[in-house]
Structure 1
Amino acid sequence: MNKYALPALAGLGLVLFAFLAVRSYSGGEREPKAAASNWKYIKQKDEMDGSYALLASVSSYDDLDTGFNVLTSTKGWDYLTALSTEEGSFLCSSRCDVTLKFDDGPSQIFNAIPNPNGGSNMIVIGNSERILPQLRSARRLVVRATYYRRGEHTSVFDVSGYDETEHRKID
């Protein structure tokens, strides 16, 4: 078992690539689908084996354009959670801590690792099995992470309306 209780990262490359490509892509099948909430649901088909990488993403309203992301695949992966930023970089060389707070609940510290595909604009948060049940019923998520040359920064997300059925939909 992984020392930091992080999910298996096999095949994560397709999902992370899909996320990064879709953030700036305009048009075609990869265009984000807006939901009744702030969540965007994105799918990316793997033309080799026909599976899909599925992403649910919500953005904060801060100056770093931070995104909270829930990733999964039709290959049967468990869910992965990640934090991304368009402005700046995370300070996370091999392992780091991220603090999450759902609604008025207690602050919780989670282990994270840098993007396995390189780059410092995304970190993968461990223990997704603890995050997902809270996310399903939460309205607000507060996340504190450490950024390169900025130190600790807190981002607030409106996570109300996360729809797991919409997230898993591939048609």
Structure 2
Amino acid sequence: MELIEIGRVGRAHGLKGEIKVHVEDHFEEDLLNASVVLIGQPSIPYFLSGARGGGALLLKFEDLDSREQVTLLSNQPIFLKAEDVSDPEPPADDNPFSKLVGYVIQAEGYASLGPIREIVDLPEHYLASIEHEGKEFFIPLHEDLIVAEYVDAKVLEMSLPEGLLSQ
């Protein structure tokens, strides 16, 4: 069975087992029409009892009725079966930073921050999603913060504001 990664599971929403998901825009309609999604690696199927968009995309799963149950799914990749996806190819990419996925961020005062997992496109700016010391961080991608890009080594040297990686 061929699976297509469409995004990531976010945080629990409310107390009745709904959870936010962050999916690539061109997969949103496919997700809203799906009856089953697969979450995690290895992927486990979850049957949908409800899905709604409008601002945040929220999912409700059969047999998961509490915040505690769905919280276990947070930060996991979410997949659809290939036959449930109308068009697996994303539209032409106008994101100038999309080529940086896989690059390692290096910043003064830190060891390597790890590879960029994805580029998040917000209305005002772009963020690089990284995992550092077991936690997820979002690094703003702005020309004032990028010191150098080493294409051959796939390294992005940045000057990060103090305290950005403290939680």
Q: TM-score, normalised by structure 1?
A: 0.31
Structure in which a larger fraction of residues adopt strand:
2
Give the TM-score, by structure 2 length. Answer: 0.31
Structure with greater proportional helix content: 1
* Structure with greater Cα Rg: 2
Higher relative contact order (CA 8 A, sep 6+): 1
